[in-house]
A and B are shown apart, each in its own frame.
Chain A
Amino acid sequence: MLKLFERNTLNVADITDDTTAIDVRNLNLWFGNKHVLNDISMRIPKNKITALIGQSGCGKSTLVNCFNRLNDLYDGCKYEGEIVIGGKNINSKKVNVSRLRTQVGMVFQRPNPFPMSIYDNVCYGLRLQGVKTRRHLDDAVESALKDAALWDEVKDRLFESANALSGGQQQRLVIARALALKPEILLLDEPTSALDPLTTLFIEELMAVLKKRCTIVIVTHNMQQASRVSDYTAFFHQGRLIEYADSDSLFTMPDKKQTEDYITGRYG
């Protein structure tokens, strides 16, 4: 258990181009006239878990949604600056947003399985990509469900409705759904806030395993969770990145007073 969460992290400043999964450069974002993200620059390292923390409404979700351009769904949203993933600026108009979203998977706060069978849920993304052969789909479903540690629980009822699963199972199904596309980056927006502590632990262990295969960005309000699972932590306040460091330093000796206040629970 302890070993699972043992870290081997560099200083934030030492993250090189090679080890960067997401490079955010001077990102500004507005919803209408509201300046929601204010000049954010940060490098999110590959195959690590990076936690985003901060008060409600500070723009964590908005930032995460920038990584797969989900903010495009909102009419009043404008943004400036660059986000480089895999050597390309994804904020460019030329980017194929659908392809980007298959490379950057996302799990939401509330489990949102589609009202279809478990099998169809996991296949959703693959079918969109034109995968039709039954054998491919079967294999992909099995491996994705195994990766999400759900296979044993559902292998006998793959064709039953996903709505019949428990909340924790649903959340793992949603993770499996994203993993089926073999994403390079997995964005988790408060994935455990609707779950009980035991299931939460379960999903945290899952993250520790998954980080070997992809970069994970997790938004959380739970300080213990952030310090437990993440390698790096970024603290936001009112749309600004206040402090970004490896989790050990950030949680033991934060640089900024604001950060310290927040993590010790003096406000927020």
Chain B
Amino acid sequence: MNSLFSPAHRQSLVISLTAFFTSLLLIALVSVLVLISFRGGAYFWPEPIYDVTYKDAVGSEYGAINNTSDTNEADNGNKKPQTSIKDRKNRENKENRIFAQLYITDEAERIYQVHYADDQSPYGAQMQLAEADVINMELAHNSAEIKTIDGRFVLGQPQFLTTPDSRRQDLSHFADIQSRVTALSSQIEKIRSERLSPIHESLASLDGKGVNRNAPARKRLETQFERWQHDVIHFEQERDEYELRITFANAQEYSIRVSEIKSIDYVSQLSYFEKWQVVFNRVATFLTDSPKQANTSGGVFPALFGTVLMVFLMTIIVTPFGVLAAIYLSEYAPDTPFTTAIRISVSNMAGVPSIVYGVFGLGFFVYTLGGNIDAFFFADKLPAPTMGTPGVFWASLTMAILTLPVVIVATEEGLRRVPEGLKRGSYALGATKVETIVKTILPIASPGIMTGVILAIARAAGEVAPLMLVGAVKFAPTLPIDGEFPYLHLERQFMHLGVLIYDGAFHSSTDAKNSSMMFAACLLLLMVVFVLNVLAVILRTRLRKRYLQG
């Protein structure tokens, strides 16, 4: 035995064993990154549209499975067009022709996941299609992905435009017509905001004063209102008569209002460079737009904003608290069993499941604290709660409590690293304890404090469960910030990237393989956390260089 495993052998065995597990870890890490960036990135990639003829295998196991308008998803390995299999054509079955984008193929069974549109479901549907059922498939050069304002997609071949005088216009006039439509829309909006709402308000105030139904003032306002209302209807009708006529693969016609169109991308004829332009535009939309179609389309701006705001507020709250607590524990607190108990419980608090903090936040902050604030300061608005309801402030506070141990532990670690000689040097120059802490100890401990804050930020940015209890929602109609006094509305509910992803994961009724905005949001969250970390590491190294003896 000994001869078999000489010390050298044994050592190499240990090395290969440890190396094996390290590489497993690396593989796991890399595959997470690759999966998320690949699927997330694919959300933005314009997929070509194919004109697919297939036989409708009645009673086949691969029927249309749902009607959600899911969007782009790609699998690099399966981008090449599959050619026809005419010889297997079966005359007995009905043939269907659709415009479709093809996604993942089940390699073994040759099944496509397709996102298609036809006259039955113009706004897109999904189904699985076996390669065996495909009769013909070719790139549809003239078809386009038409995106609507409300976040849906139509795959179709644009034919011509119609105008209110029911004349046909060539497609080349699209930009022209679109700007005309936009002008109409803004005119309508202007009448609404400048004419209709003031009249509405005056009427409401007359109501409040209890003015007679038939008072002349009221009558006059009402006729005015009707006149403007009439204009609005007129303009709307005119606007809605600008339409884009498209045809589907089976030559059926369909019309889309120009006012509803956001973009038209001829994805099948884009060059590589143009595809990147499309990607760029979609990323911009993704970052600036609000979610559409129940968080499966559109953008994530409110969630991004909510995440950043919540994390920012949390940092403002947790940093001073954590640092002060750590200073007390390491510089002032006497060494008694009691303080030892506190120290131990602080480090254990970091391991408490986050949902516990969520429940605590809901029970204590929202109901107890918020309820009391309402009772004292917003009594006039009760029973409608102001602070006694989940909101971004309570969420930040809850996350601050949740991350407090992390900050305390890291700061204490940083404080412990301050050389005793420097403290004594400071005292020897006549500094008091407070002066020594502020001028010498804290700057030197700042890299440690930074580390704690970063960890806290990363944790808070990725947390979901407790946030859903104390203020994060799937959809918030308003941002917590707006132009209305006091501009920052800390009592409002907010959207959060983590919650959006969570929602997306439950929501996508297709299999998770072919999902959507969830992955893109995931990628974004990953990038937010990554950027924050990189920033912090840079800051920390700079602080370290500056404050530690080199």
Q: A residues within 8 Å of B by Cβ? A: 68, 70, 73, 75, 98-99, 101-102, 105-106, 108, 110, 112, 114-115, 124-125, 128-129, 161, 163, 174, 177-178, 181
Choose from B421, B431, B439 the contact partner of A112 (Cβ within 8 Å).
B421
B548: Cβ under 8 A from any A Cβ: yes
B419: Cβ under 8 A from any A Cβ: yes
Q: Which residues of chain B have C-beta atoms less than 8 A from A174's C-beta?
A: 425
Q: Which residues of chain A have C-beta atoms less than 8 A from B427's C-beta?
A: 70, 73, 101
Q: Give the distance in Å from the alpha carbon of A178 to the alpha carbon of B427 in the complex.
A: 11
Q: Which residues of chain A have C-beta atoms less than 8 A from B548's C-beta?
A: 115
Determine if B424 and A73 form an interchain contact, defined as CB atoms under 8 angstroms apart. yes
Choose from A98, A163, A178 the contact partner of B432 (Cβ within 8 Å).
A98
Q: Give the distance in Å from the alpha carbon of A163 to the alpha carbon of B549 in the complex.
A: 6
B210: Cβ under 8 A from any A Cβ: no
Determine if B424 and A112 form an interchain contact, defined as CB atoms under 8 angstroms apart. yes
Determine if A115 and B547 form an interchain contact, defined as CB atoms under 8 angstroms apart. yes
B226: Cβ under 8 A from any A Cβ: no
Q: Give the distance in Å from the alpha carbon of A68 to the alpha carbon of B424 in the complex.
A: 11
Would you list the 7 A-B pairs with minimal beta carbon distance, nearest first? A125-B429, A112-B421, A102-B430, A106-B428, A101-B430, A115-B547, A112-B425
Chain B: minimal CB distance from A86 (Å): 15
Name the residue among B429, B432, B439, B548 with the largest chain A CB count within 10 angstroms: B429
Determine if A124 and B443 form an interchain contact, defined as CB atoms under 8 angstroms apart. no
Q: B residues within 8 Å of A by Cβ? A: 334, 419, 421-432, 435, 439-440, 443-444, 546-550
In the assembled complex, 25 residue pairs joining A and B whose CB atoms fall closer than 8 Å, in A order, are: A70-B427, A73-B427, A98-B432, A101-B428, A101-B430, A102-B429, A102-B430, A106-B428, A108-B421, A108-B425, A112-B422, A112-B424, A114-B425, A114-B426, A114-B440, A115-B443, A115-B546, A124-B426, A124-B439, A125-B430, A125-B431, A128-B429, A128-B439, A174-B425, A181-B430
Residue of A nearest to B550 (CB): A163
Determine if A129 and B430 form an interchain contact, defined as CB atoms under 8 angstroms apart. yes
Q: Which residues of chain A have C-beta atoms less than 8 A from B419's C-beta?
A: 112
Q: Give the distance in Å from the alpha carbon of A112 to the alpha carbon of B427 in the complex.
A: 12
Name the residue among B423, B424, B549 with the largest chain A CB count within 10 angstroms: B549
Q: Give the distance in Å from the alpha carbon of A98 to the alpha carbon of B429 in the complex.
A: 8
Determine if A105 and B424 form an interchain contact, defined as CB atoms under 8 angstroms apart. no
Choose from B429, B432, B547, B549 the contact partner of A124 (Cβ within 8 Å).
B429
Q: Give the distance in Å from the alpha carbon of A177 to the alpha carbon of B424 in the complex.
A: 13
Chain B residues touching A, majority SS? helix
Determine if A99 and B430 form an interchain contact, defined as CB atoms under 8 angstroms apart. yes
Q: How many A-B residue pairs have CB under 8 A?
A: 65
Determine if A101 and B429 form an interchain contact, defined as CB atoms under 8 angstroms apart. yes
Chain B: minimal CB distance from A28 (Å): 23
Name the residue among B423, B425, B430, B431 with the largest chain A CB count within 10 angstroms: B430
Q: Which residues of chain A have C-beta atoms less than 8 A from B424's C-beta?
A: 70, 73, 108, 112
Q: Which residues of chain A have C-beta atoms less than 8 A from B421's C-beta?
A: 108, 110, 112
Determine if A98 and B431 form an interchain contact, defined as CB atoms under 8 angstroms apart. yes
Q: Give the distance in Å from the alpha carbon of A115 to the alpha carbon of B439 in the complex.
A: 11
Chain A: minimal CB distance from B420 (Å): 9
Chain A: minimal CB distance from B117 (Å): 66
Q: Which residues of chain B have C-beta atoms less than 8 A from A98's C-beta?
A: 430-432
Q: Which residues of chain A have C-beta atoms less than 8 A from B334's C-beta?
A: 75
Residue of B nearest to A101 (CB): B430
Residue of A nearest to B429 (CB): A125
Determine if A115 and B428 form an interchain contact, defined as CB atoms under 8 angstroms apart. no
Q: Give the distance in Å from the alpha carbon of A125 to the alpha carbon of B155 in the complex.
A: 75
Known contacts A112-B419, A114-B422, A115-B443: A128-B546 contact under CB 8 Å: no
Q: Give the distance in Å from the alpha carbon of A181 to the alpha carbon of B428 in the complex.
A: 11
Known contacts A108-B424, A112-B421: A128-B430 contact under CB 8 Å: yes
Chain B: minimal CB distance from A162 (Å): 9
Q: Give the distance in Å from the alpha carbon of A5 to the alpha carbon of B416 in the complex.
A: 44
Chain A: minimal CB distance from B350 (Å): 29
Q: Which residues of chain B have C-beta atoms less than 8 A from A163's C-beta?
A: 549-550
Q: Give the distance in Å from the alpha carbon of A70 to the alpha carbon of B436 in the complex.
A: 14
Name the residue among A108, A112, A125, A163 with the largest chain B CB count within 10 angstroms: A112
Q: Give the distance in Å from the alpha carbon of A106 to the alpha carbon of B430 in the complex.
A: 10
Q: Give the distance in Å from the alpha carbon of A114 to the alpha carbon of B425 in the complex.
A: 8
Q: Which residues of chain A have C-beta atoms less than 8 A from B443's C-beta?
A: 115
Chain B: minimal CB distance from A7 (Å): 28
Determine if A178 and B546 form an interchain contact, defined as CB atoms under 8 angstroms apart. no
Determine if B546 and A161 form an interchain contact, defined as CB atoms under 8 angstroms apart. yes
Residue of B nearest to A162 (CB): B549
Determine if B549 and A178 form an interchain contact, defined as CB atoms under 8 angstroms apart. no
Q: Give the distance in Å from the alpha carbon of A125 to the alpha carbon of B439 in the complex.
A: 11
Q: Give the distance in Å from the alpha carbon of A101 to the alpha carbon of B548 in the complex.
A: 25
Determine if B428 and A128 form an interchain contact, defined as CB atoms under 8 angstroms apart. no
Q: Which residues of chain A have C-beta atoms less than 8 A from B444's C-beta?
A: 115
Residue of B nearest to A103 (CB): B430
Chain B: minimal CB distance from A60 (Å): 16
Residue of A nearest to B425 (CB): A112
Q: Give the distance in Å from the alpha carbon of A129 to the alpha carbon of B432 in the complex.
A: 11
Chain A: minimal CB distance from B253 (Å): 76
Residue of B nearest to A68 (CB): B428
Q: Which residues of chain B have C-beta atoms less than 8 A from A108's C-beta?
A: 421, 424-425, 428
Chain A: minimal CB distance from B474 (Å): 49
Residue of B nearest to A100 (CB): B430
Q: Give the distance in Å from the alpha carbon of A106 to the alpha carbon of B426 in the complex.
A: 10
Q: Which residues of chain B have C-beta atoms less than 8 A from A102's C-beta?
A: 429-430
Q: Give the distance in Å from the alpha carbon of A177 to the alpha carbon of B427 in the complex.
A: 13
Chain B: minimal CB distance from A137 (Å): 15
Chain B: minimal CB distance from A103 (Å): 9
Determine if A115 and B429 form an interchain contact, defined as CB atoms under 8 angstroms apart. no
Known contacts A114-B440, A115-B547: A177-B429 contact under CB 8 Å: yes
Chain A: minimal CB distance from B548 (Å): 6
Determine if B430 and A70 form an interchain contact, defined as CB atoms under 8 angstroms apart. no
Chain A: minimal CB distance from B329 (Å): 16
Q: Which residues of chain A have C-beta atoms less than 8 A from B423's C-beta?
A: 73
Name the residue among A124, A161, A174, A181 with the largest chain B CB count within 10 angstroms: A124
Chain B: minimal CB distance from A226 (Å): 23
Q: Give the distance in Å from the alpha carbon of A108 to the alpha carbon of B429 in the complex.
A: 12
Q: Which residues of chain B have C-beta atoms less than 8 A from A101's C-beta?
A: 427-430
Q: Give the distance in Å from the alpha carbon of A70 to the alpha carbon of B420 in the complex.
A: 13
Q: Which residues of chain B have C-beta atoms less than 8 A from A124's C-beta?
A: 426, 429, 431, 439
